[in-house]
Amino acid sequence: MNVRSITGRVKYCGVNDRSKTLFENLWQMPLGVSYNSYMVRGSAASALIDGCEVAHDNDYSARVLEALDGASPDFLVVNHVEPDHTGAVPMLHCLFPDMKIVGNAKTVDMLKGFYGLPDDCFRTVADGESLSLGDVTLRFFLTPMVHWPETMVTFIPEEGVLFSGDAFGCFGALDGAVIDDAMDGIDRYFDEAYRYYGCIVAKYGRFVLNAIKKCSVLDIKIICSTHGPVWRANVSRIVEQYSRMAAWEADKGVVIAYGSMYGHTAAMAEELAAMLAERGVRTIRLHDLSYAAKGSVLADVMRYGTLVVASPTYNGELFPPVAAFVSALVERGIENRTVGVMGSYTWGPMAAKKLAAAFEGTKVNLLAPAPMLKQNLIADAESEITALADAIVSAL
């Protein structure tokens, strides 16, 4: 069995990255990431779909040459220009100088800007346009802002294969098999889709929903995204998860994300978690924002419907890791969440007020009360923490 054969005409030639510590120099990836690329060989022409990051040029070019088996690709389709998929484009252009790079007008503009490629190496396509490779056709549909303006998808109607770019993608390198139905433990990739979406795509949910709606008329049998497994057995599951994330729909559960300088705000968080557990809440996730992987916290916020944020008062403001976290949520347009806030102080009780102000203007349901702990007088704050626990349970 050739694990890289997706259909008779479509082969996988992507690579895995298990050594990059921060994706976009920002997001930790405990399970790594794959940069997926595909070769489509028609009876009259062949096309590479999506590329790879520059650091993997060697592995990637070997995969491409193997998939070509002595031929040259006529086209390289770029569904998304972000350099994790196009860093290898200059190498491909040198290796195959007659290959046309296919993208929409925005794609071409960006590729020229990033890599200084000449005008005559491009073929510009419009929404709905087709390109025949002989016995198979590539159809292009523009799906802007998933999560860049030039994003598009490519569909092969004869095979029901959708090359979706970052849409329906996830973190997590591939451990041998490429297609979901040849793997066990597939749930971990769905978990990584929460991380990927929360870190990378979450601000653009309404555009993701537009893209899903646009693709819904296609008879899709296989989804080939740019990150993670090829979806064949789980097409409807990944589309449903993306639809829910894009609409800020959530599972039942409570995320408690806190900062703490000397352990007092942490004690409030622990106390609240214990009270929730005593009240029968089973899904509770605590994160210390000074140490937690930011992507893990965002993944939990994407997944669960209730969030409590707790912060010490620091220079009359929020503790910096908490401020950065809340800013990331507001930037992503958090909505449809029940949110509780609480905090601590020594002489100026500002944290809870600042947290409530930070969520002003967002579409969240802010709970009362907002407990504030003075110094270490935990007994004084107990009744308000209890009341917040009760309010959370009532809202679940």
Q: Can you give the binding site for ligand FEO, defined by CB under 6 A? A: 80, 82, 84-85, 147, 166, 226-227
C-alpha–C-alpha distance, residues 339 and 359, integer Å: 9
Q: Are 64 and 48 in contact (CB under 8 A)?
A: yes
Nearest residue to 52 via CA among 22, 12, 25, 21: 12
Nearest residue to 89 via CA among 60, 68, 46, 69: 60
- Least distance (Å) from ligand FEO to the CB of residue 65? 23
Q: Are 365 and 339 in contact (CB under 8 A)?
A: yes
- Least distance (Å) from ligand FEO to the CB of residue 88? 13
C-alpha–C-alpha distance, residues 257 and 326, integer Å: 10
Q: Are 115 and 42 in contact (CB under 8 A)?
A: no
- Least distance (Å) from ligand FEO to the CB of residue 191? 18
**Pairing state of beta strands 284-288 and 251-258?**
parallel
Q: What is the number of the residue whose Cβ is closest to ligand FEO? A: 82
Q: Which is nearer to ligand FEO, 77 or 257 (CB)?
A: 77
Q: Which is nearer to ligand FEO, 229 or 259 (CB)?
A: 229
Q: Which is nearer to ligand FEO, 37 or 226 (CB)?
A: 226
- Least distance (Å) from ligand FEO to the CB of residue 166? 4
Structure token digits, residue 270: 């622990």
- Least distance (Å) from ligand FEO to the CB of residue 225? 9
Q: Which is nearer to ligand FEO, 2 or 25 (CB)?
A: 25
Nearest residue to 47 via CA among 162, 125, 177, 136: 136
- Least distance (Å) from ligand FEO to the CB of residue 275? 41
Cβ density class 114-146: b for 16+ within 10 Å, e for less: ebebeeebbbebeeeeebebeebebbbbbbbbb
Q: Which is nearer to ligand FEO, 82 or 300 (CB)?
A: 82
Q: Which is nearer to ligand FEO, 76 or 281 (CB)?
A: 76
- Least distance (Å) from ligand FEO to the CB of residue 227? 6
Q: Are 172 and 34 in contact (CB under 8 A)?
A: yes
Distances (CA, A) of 244 to 144, 197, 229, 336: 19, 11, 20, 11
